[in-house]
Amino acid sequence: MKIIYTIQELQTELSSYKQNHQKVGFVPTMGALHEGHASLMKKSVADNDITVASVFVNPTQFNDQNDLLKYPRTLEADCKLLELCGVDLVFAPNVDEMYPEPDKRQFNYAPLDTVMEGKHRPGHFNGVCQIVSRLFDAVNPDRAYFGEKDFQQLAIIREMVRDMNYPIEIVGCPIVREMDGLALSSRNARLSADERENALNISQTLFKSCTFAANHSVAETKEMVIGAIASSPGLEVEYFEIVDGNTLQEVNSWEESTYIVGCITVFCGDVRLIDNIRYK
């Protein structure tokens, strides 16, 4: 496995693979890697001739500078995991390499990016599109892999790929959970032991809501989830929306769509956690 720090070196390294028509898989990350990321890497390694992983904490997608400062940076440990997964190249640029000058591009994918995370984190998805498009331009992969835990992000990246005519297949990969059900997240490392225990109520409530939904309306299911989590110690629900899985717009009845997902964001102490569950 080779670690690369500049776009020029990356493209030089990849040129021989592309000339030989070998398929390139790409997994963009912000580091602090866990088994959820590992599942993306392993999928890419299985699907492609060569796999590139990027490790870059992107400043333009943080609307809270404290969150940016607190985001864990663990490149040495990340590289050990990436090598175990069979990754061939790690691209670990600094901020000046990715943004030699400010990126003033504005991406507008309303209504996908104006609800849920887009509503509560203004500018977040614009920053995501800025960095993912720059990484796509640098790597020029055949396939790129993203986790379904960031459900809204995946939908917006698919839309960006269509909009910008990237010849890239976007592969969504299922949420990876701990044995007790907690969705894996880099932010979990910031949870205290008590907060980690409290956070279990998020996934447990979502799982229960699937059974509950079979005999209750969308509104009743939404009320049940918010109420159950809000009454759990140390948890504060920022939002819970039950939406069409393609449009991300709220549904009012289970008959409105054949693809319905519940998306939630919860503060556990000062750690912001997201999760989702598919109802149909």
* Residue 72 scores a pLDDT above 90: no
Residue 70: band (very low, low, confident or very high) from pLDDT cuts 50, 70, 90: confident
112/105 Cα distance (integer angstroms): 18
Question: Quick one: tokens of 31?
Answer: 């580091």
pLDDT at 68: 86
- C-alpha dihedral (32, 152, 23, 184), degrees to nearest 10: 30
Which residues contact residue 76 at a Cβ distance below 8 angstroms, ignoring those fewer than 6 apart?
Answer: none
Report the distance separating Cα 202 and Cα 257, nearest Å. 24
Instruction: Give 250: exposed, middle or buried? Use CB within 10 Å, 0-12, 13-18, 19+.
Output: middle
At the topology level, CATH places domain 2-173 in Rossmann fold (3.40.50)
**Phi/psi of residue 34, nearest 5 degrees:** -140, -175
- The per-residue pLDDT for 71 is 84
Q: Which residue in 107, 126, 9, 4 sits closest to 59, CA to CA?
A: 126
Same fold, 2-173 and 186-274: no
* Gap between the Cα atoms of 107 and 114, Å rounded: 12
pLDDT band at 84 (very low <50, low <70, confident <90, very high): very high
Counting beta carbons within 10 angstroms of the beta carbon of residue 108, is it exposed (0 to 12), middle (13 to 18) or buried (19 or more)? exposed
- CATH match for 186-274 among 3.40.640.10, 3.30.1180.20, 3.30.1300.10, 3.30.1180.10: 3.30.1300.10
Angle at 164 between CA 105 and CA 89, to 5 degrees: 90
Mean per-residue pLDDT, 126-130: 97
Out of 21, 37, 120, 124, which one is annotated catalytic?
Answer: 37
Asked if the model's pLDDT at residue 5 lies above 90, the reply is yes
Question: So where are the chain's domains?
Answer: 2-173, 186-274
Give the residue, 64 or 236, on which the prediction is more confident.
Answer: 236
Indicate if the pLDDT at residue 141 is higher than 90. Answer: yes
- Res. 127: pLDDT tops 90: yes
State residue 219's pLDDT score. Answer: 98
**Bridge partners of 50?**
24
User: Quick check: is 37 catalytic?
Assistant: yes
Write down the pLDDT at residue 27.
98
Q: How many CB atoms lie within 10 A of CB 201?
A: 21
